[in-house]
């Protein structure tokens, strides 16, 4: 039986817009140089919440508040289970860090179109439905 790694992703809402980040160009990463929803892997000593707070701080310099869990999805070919959360922040003082070259806020209706198709193809239906609602 395969052991699934854990990862987290956060849809961050600020002033009715969603924060997306552009991954630095890095050989071997499937969304290298492309826009995506921030998140990352959960370390062995972390729970999901701690990992998501850490990832947002590292990638955007933002302190976030988690509103609720949206869903989880297993991606067997990548041997990962991704836990999706809805988040917010009171700050617009975001700066790209860690593995992001750019960050921007976009209208919720534009997130799917702006993010890389290789990433959005792996997003669960609950996330896609949330983003399609205006």
SS3 string, the chain, reads: CCCCEEEEEEEEEECCEEEEEEECCCCCCCCCCCEECCEEECCCCCCHHHHHHHHHHHHHCCCCEEEEEEEEEEEHHHCEEEEEEEEECCCCCCCCCCCEEEEEEEEHHHHHHHCCHHHHCCCCHHHHHHHHCC
Tens of pLDDT along the chain (134 residues)?
568 899 999 999 999 899 999 988 776 656 678 899 999 999 999 999 999 999 999 999 999 999 999 999 998 888 999 999 999 998 888 999 888 999 999 999 999 999 999 889 999 999 999 999 86
CA distance linking residue 110 with residue 90, whole number of Å? 22
> What confidence score (pLDDT) does residue 3 get?
81
Q: What is the pLDDT of residue 78?
A: 83
Return the number of other C-beta atoms located less than 10 Å from residue 105's C-beta: 15
3-state secondary structure of 103: strand
- pLDDT at residue number 30: 62
Q: Which pair of structure tokens corresponds to residue 16?
A: 């009715």
Sign of CA dihedral 5, 97, 61, 123: negative
Q: Mention the CATH class of domain 5-132.
A: alpha beta
């Amino acid at each position: 039986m395969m052991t699934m790694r854990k990862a987290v992703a956060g849809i961050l809402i600020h002033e009715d817009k969603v924060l997306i980040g552009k991954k630095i160009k890095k050989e071997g990463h499937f969304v290298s140089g492309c826009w995506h929803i921030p998140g990352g892997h959960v370390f062995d000593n972390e729970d999901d919440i701690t990992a998501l707070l850490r990832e947002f701080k590292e990638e955007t310099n933002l302190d976030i508040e988690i509103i609720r869990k949206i869903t989880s999805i297993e991606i067997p070919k990548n041997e990962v289970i991704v836990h999706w959360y809805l988040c917010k922040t009171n700050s617009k003082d975001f700066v790209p860090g860690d593995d992001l070259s750019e960050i921007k806020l976009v209208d919720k209706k534009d997130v799917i179109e702006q993010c890389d198709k290789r990433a959005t193809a792996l997003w669960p239906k609950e996330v896609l439905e949330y983003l399609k609602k205006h």
